[in-house]
Structure 1
Amino acid sequence: MDDQSKAKSKSKTVRTGLALINDDLLHNILLRLTATSFASAACVSKSWNLLCNRILSRPKLASALSLNPSPHIAVQEVLEKVLSEPIRPHFAVANIGSGFSLIGAFQLITKRLGSGTPFIISTASGIIGRDALTNELKEVKWGDIGGDSDDEGGYFPVEVINNGIVLTVGFVPGLKVDAIPLLRSVKEPCVQMRDKFVMDIKDYTASVSGCTSPVGIIIFGEGLADMKPVIDVLDYAMPMETVIVGDERGRFLYRSWDESRNVCGSAKYISEAVALVFARDSDKSSVTGDIQFHVALSNGVSVVGPKHKAVSVRANNPDRTSWLTAKREGQFEILDGQTMLTEINDELENHIESPDLYIGVTKRRKCSIGSEKPRLITSLSFHGVIGGDEEYLYVNGDNIKTGDYFQFYHSDPNAAISSCSDASVYLKNLKRYENANNGHDMRAVAVNVVKKEVFGGLIFSCNGRGESFFGRRNVDSAPFTENFPRVPLAGIFCGGEIGRGSSSLMGESQRESSARRCLHVYSSVYLVMSSTL
């Protein structure tokens, strides 16, 4: 090679090396941008866009909590935290205390995220997450949503102290997400509206993935609506691979990507529920990892007493309660409410202090959607015990029939702590898959398991749990934080926790019975999001 050729080759090498160095520098700069600046940088040129796509190629969840009493400051703090790093919002969920204006917080957040991001905001009885300023994990339980002032007694309205917000923003390449409402019209029967809700979910999923089964559903119910029939029909319609989690009772607003669904505040419709639906994207890149949803359950109730069979049932429709008599399984004596409660209290004496009581009713009901042939579904439904007298046992809820079998359950912190340990063991198995990615677990590598990366988690916990239930702090979040201390986490204390997944993930109490169970009491439901590599 002559001198001129050598000089050209050297010059080309220098230029190539400089380009590589510049790309490395640019990569490091882009990594440090906020989400808004990152989005702008991706529009500069094709080469910048490609580099941004490489930086943000893996799924990501960002969450933050603020207890600032000013809603404007609290919203600003969580937004700045979740958008402090590169992320493209595919969905957002916010949960606030009743001291904040639902519509005010909704408007502040949608202004920053834009109208194209599916978004649900709801009130909660408490929030779980990491503080936006200190990164400290906090479980904050406020109690009932709403309240009355009592100046003479020296009490403050609940709204005064229920100030706070937890915000979660997710980037889930390979999935499509949208918010789909359950709308009630005075002109249409509730059954038809429930069927339409399910079909809307199936139709949306089919439109983006080619199949009718979504990966997961996060659902929020309106406090005055009866969510049991809704969850029953969803459970019936969806395969067990579809994870369903959420809050049975609260207040919410939503924003759908499909403008035709955005009817909040309409005089024609009332939104009884809204579902954030996650469906496979049929157009996803082949290099995108497969996102999976996993569910674990910490059960917080224990069985007490024998099985009973309902003998007579009266439904009190105005307040949705049921009055019933029963007899013990295998016996003929008909028991009134006072007799049943006396027997249960005798069994609980010296075992637990003032527990909340429920009856778990095993129901065999026909279920169908539209004109299809109905089939029998067996489910376990919990009804809170109100009281009893010499005539009846009084419980919350309806749809209890003569001949249904039930057992009494009581809130039990010892059972809850034990099942928290079970949930932690399951999540530890997911962590083992993560360690295999780094070569730390040769057993996992040897059997060629699918490698997973956990990138986020959500918790839906009963508002009866928390520090007052366990006698110590941060028990509900422990199964997740012990296994994934650096992974973003958000959660709420809710009025009725919804959790449905593979039975192998839902704890021993779920496997004891063939009855399906999606609505829980005194439980914590853990949704863990992972991606295969």
Structure 2
Amino acid sequence: MGNRNRSSPSSTTPKLIHNIGFSLINDDLLQNILSRLPATSFASAASVSRTWNAACSRILCCPKLSSAISINPLPHVALQEVFDKVMSEPIRPHFAIASVGPGFEFKDVLPFMVKKLGSRTPIILSSVNGILGRDALTHEFREVKWIGNTVEEVPANTGIVLTVGYLPGLKVDVIPLLQKRKVSQGSLIDKFVMDIEDYTSSVSGSSSPPAIIMIGDGSVDLKPILEKLDFAMSMETIIVGDERGQFVYRSSDASRNVSTNQKHSPDAVALVFARDGNKVHGIGNIEFHFAQSIGVSAIGPRLKAASVRMQDSCTVTWLTARREGQQEILDGQQMLEDIDNEMENNMDCVDLYIGVTRRRNCSVGSDKPRLMTTLALHGVEGGDSEYLYVDGVGIRTGDYFRFYHPDPKTALSSTKNVSSALGNLKLEWDCLNKGTVVNAIDKREAFGGFIFACIGRGESFFSHHNVDSSPFLENFPGIPVAGIFCGGEIGRGCMSLTATGGEEEEGSARCHLHAYSTVYLVMSYAPLEH
């Protein structure tokens, strides 16, 4: 009874401290105190006075990524656990990405996120096949899958990974690709690409952002979308994400928030990271780095499509082929028998793909068309005495293709090469930071990252746990990293960090939708020299 009128410490502490003159304490001590506050209290403290606001700004002078996972069987408890963890330290959310298991309801999660982070914070919420990250309670790194041979058994399917980012010097927002009736898909894709360009230009003066995280609807073919993005964006723009997801989103621009409108349902959504043209003086530079572990190997000879058929109501392509330099036409059964012999009668145990080299003219809007060469992977559905049946469309008579199969040895070797490449990058930064390199212009270090791994990988693929996460865990063990297991991995970026081989064997052909691969996005920061 005696305590019933007593205010809670969290609501009165900043006011009491200010009223008793504690605002006059040493700046270092003030910063030390403020840096220990959780994000919500930190935001309140920043509004106490100009002195406190300046101290808070000094604390958040560098970018920050905060991430956590929870597999608590109660969805509301798991959601609260990850929020408590990611918001346990000072941060000003510039964006949030949450990925959940099938046990979650979007209608419960998105309003919670908006309430906690504010209606102006860009948010993407997706349902995925698995998650990677550090446990909110134990800090143990975990890889969790919910379909196929699970890495960890999670019967309730209620896992969640949440990442919140603060990126001074960048502007971040969500751009949707909206589906509209009576409008051609080509026109909608053009508008989507131009929306990204327009947003980026409006905040940075450049039409190409440094990075995009993209989630596609599982029922939509992302190949033409990524081909147009590849055409329009500079070579430096990194694009990563999940080809086949289910998602809802929240943009800082309210006019884009039509994800629940059936007349304008989104086919894809892009979280765009653009340079801030009005960056505050003294803020350093954030860079994005791309790496990829290949997971498939080519098998059999190069073939040329002899005839191609498809039905308007079907997304399966029927084709026959010739071996390169030969006239005999091969049906589906012949092609599959040849591959089965190559694999020593082991074909039934693995997924099979064909990688089609496509040379097509591409353009966006009124831009002049340009010939582009891409490698498109199509899952093999089967074959008979007439045709080979493959998933997807866009194959033409005369296109060349090869068969590909998942290969754990290739994937493991490729992952080790990625880890070595990241290790060399870290070593280069360490040399710069120690001043051992002549004419070193900045000091750089990683502060966070994302992983997009194929659902077919994981412990069941490698017979070892945490292989897909190993490049981060071995080279950047202390930084926040979050990941998901995808139905199809999006990966477009500079190949300097990528272990080549497998699907990249087609020379100049560029592949942006992958199979059995893991895509890595590393974020680094270099403060300005004073």
TM-score, with structure 2 as normaliser: 0.91
Q: Does residue 39 of structure 1 match 2:43?
A: yes
In structure 1, the residue matched to 2:77 is 73
Structure-to-structure mapping, 1:125-524, within 5 angstroms? 125-143=129-147, 161-349=156-344, 354-436=349-431, 438-439=433-434, 442=436, 445-446=437-438, 448=440, 450-509=442-501, 510=504, 513-524=507-518
- 2:473 is paired with a residue whose SS is helix
- 2:84 is paired with a residue whose SS is helix
CA distance in 2, matches of 1:176, 1:331: 55
Q: How big is each residue's C-alpha offset from its partner over 1:392-426, in whole Å with a ceiling of 9 and x where there is no partner?
A: 11110111000000000000000000000111112
CA distance in 1, matches of 2:507, 2:441: 30
> Deviation of residue 472 (structure 1)?
1.2
In structure 1, the residue matched to 2:8 is none
Give the alignment partner of residue 101 of structure 1, picking from 77, 99, 105: 105
> Deviation of residue 314 (structure 1)?
0.5
Q: How big is each residue's C-alpha offset from its partner over 1:257-291, in whole Å with a ceiling of 9 and x where there is no partner?
A: 00000002113211111100010001102311111
CA distance in 2, matches of 1:491, 1:451: 27
Q: How big is each residue's C-alpha offset from its partner over 1:226-257, in whole Å with a ceiling of 9 and x where there is no partner?
A: 11111111111101111100100110000000
- 1:531 is paired with a residue whose SS is strand
Q: Is the 8 A contact 1:316 1:323 kept in 2?
A: no
In structure 1, the residue matched to 2:86 is 82
What's the % identity of the aligned pairs? 59
Q: How big is each residue's C-alpha offset from its partner over 1:327-359, in whole Å with a ceiling of 9 and x where there is no partner?
A: 110111111111111111111117788221100
In structure 2, the residue matched to 1:529 is 523
Q: Does residue 27 of structure 1 match 2:31?
A: yes
CA distance in 2, matches of 1:56, 1:479: 28
CA distance in 1, matches of 2:428, 2:279: 24
CA distance in 2, matches of 1:216, 1:372: 22
Q: How big is each residue's C-alpha offset from its partner over 1:409-445, in whole Å with a ceiling of 9 and x where there is no partner?
A: 0000000000001111121122113423552x83xx2
In structure 2, the residue matched to 1:3 is none
CA distance in 1, matches of 2:366, 2:492: 26
CA distance in 1, matches of 2:161, 2:23: 42
> Deviation of residue 143 (structure 1)?
1.6
CA distance in 1, matches of 2:297, 2:312: 29
Q: Is the 8 A contact 2:286 2:523 kept in 1?
A: yes
Q: Is the 8 A contact 1:503 1:511 kept in 2?
A: no
Q: Is the 8 A contact 2:432 2:442 kept in 1?
A: no
Give the alignment partner of residue 51 of structure 1, picking from 47, 52, 55: 55
Q: Is the 8 A contact 1:68 1:163 kept in 2?
A: yes
> Deviation of residue 27 (structure 1)?
1.1
- 1:517 is paired with a residue whose SS is coil
> Deviation of residue 111 (structure 1)?
1.2
> Deviation of residue 160 (structure 1)?
5.7
Q: Is the 8 A contact 1:90 1:171 kept in 2?
A: yes
Q: Is the 8 A contact 2:94 2:166 kept in 1?
A: yes
Q: Is the 8 A contact 2:331 2:386 kept in 1?
A: yes
- 1:161 is paired with a residue whose SS is coil
> Deviation of residue 107 (structure 1)?
1.5
- 2:262 is paired with a residue whose SS is coil
Q: Is the 8 A contact 2:429 2:443 kept in 1?
A: yes
> Deviation of residue 50 (structure 1)?
0.9
Deviates further, 461-470 or 423-432: 423-432
Q: How big is each residue's C-alpha offset from its partner over 1:460-493, in whole Å with a ceiling of 9 and x where there is no partner?
A: 0101101111111110000111000000000000
Q: Does residue 121 of structure 1 match 2:125?
A: yes
Q: Is the 8 A contact 1:433 1:450 kept in 2?
A: no
Count how many residue pairs are aligned between Structure 1 and Structure 2.
501
In structure 1, the residue matched to 2:17 is none
Q: How big is each residue's C-alpha offset from its partner over 1:285-310, in whole Å with a ceiling of 9 and x where there is no partner?
A: 23111111111000000010110000
- 1:279 is paired with a residue whose SS is strand
Structure 1 residues 104 and 20: alpha-carbon distance in aligned structure 2, compared to 1, 3 A threshold = closer
CA distance in 2, matches of 1:459, 1:419: 15
CA distance in 1, matches of 2:23, 2:228: 58
Q: Is the 8 A contact 1:98 1:159 kept in 2?
A: no
CA distance in 2, matches of 1:353, 1:20: 74
Q: Residue type matched to 1:452 in 2?
A: R
CA distance in 1, matches of 2:53, 2:62: 15
Structure 1 residues 318 and 159: alpha-carbon distance in aligned structure 2, compared to 1, 3 A threshold = farther
CA distance in 2, matches of 1:464, 1:412: 11
TM-score, with structure 1 as normaliser: 0.91
In structure 2, the residue matched to 1:11 is none
> Deviation of residue 210 (structure 1)?
1.2
Which stretches in structure 2 are left out of the alignment for 5+ residues?
Answer: 1-21
Q: Residue type matched to 2:124 in 1?
A: I
Q: Residue type matched to 2:273 in 1?
A: F
Which stretches in structure 1 are left out of the alignment for 5+ residues?
Answer: 1-17, 145-157
CA distance in 2, matches of 1:319, 1:350: 30
> Deviation of residue 508 (structure 1)?
1.4
CA distance in 1, matches of 2:339, 2:505: 25
CA distance in 1, matches of 2:301, 2:236: 34
In structure 2, the residue matched to 1:14 is none
Q: Is the 8 A contact 2:449 2:523 kept in 1?
A: yes
- 1:251 is paired with a residue whose SS is strand
Q: How big is each residue's C-alpha offset from its partner over 1:365-393, in whole Å with a ceiling of 9 and x where there is no partner?
A: 11111122212110000000111111111
- 2:349 is paired with a residue whose SS is coil
Deviates further, 448-457 or 63-72: 448-457
Structure 1 residues 378 and 120: alpha-carbon distance in aligned structure 2, compared to 1, 3 A threshold = same
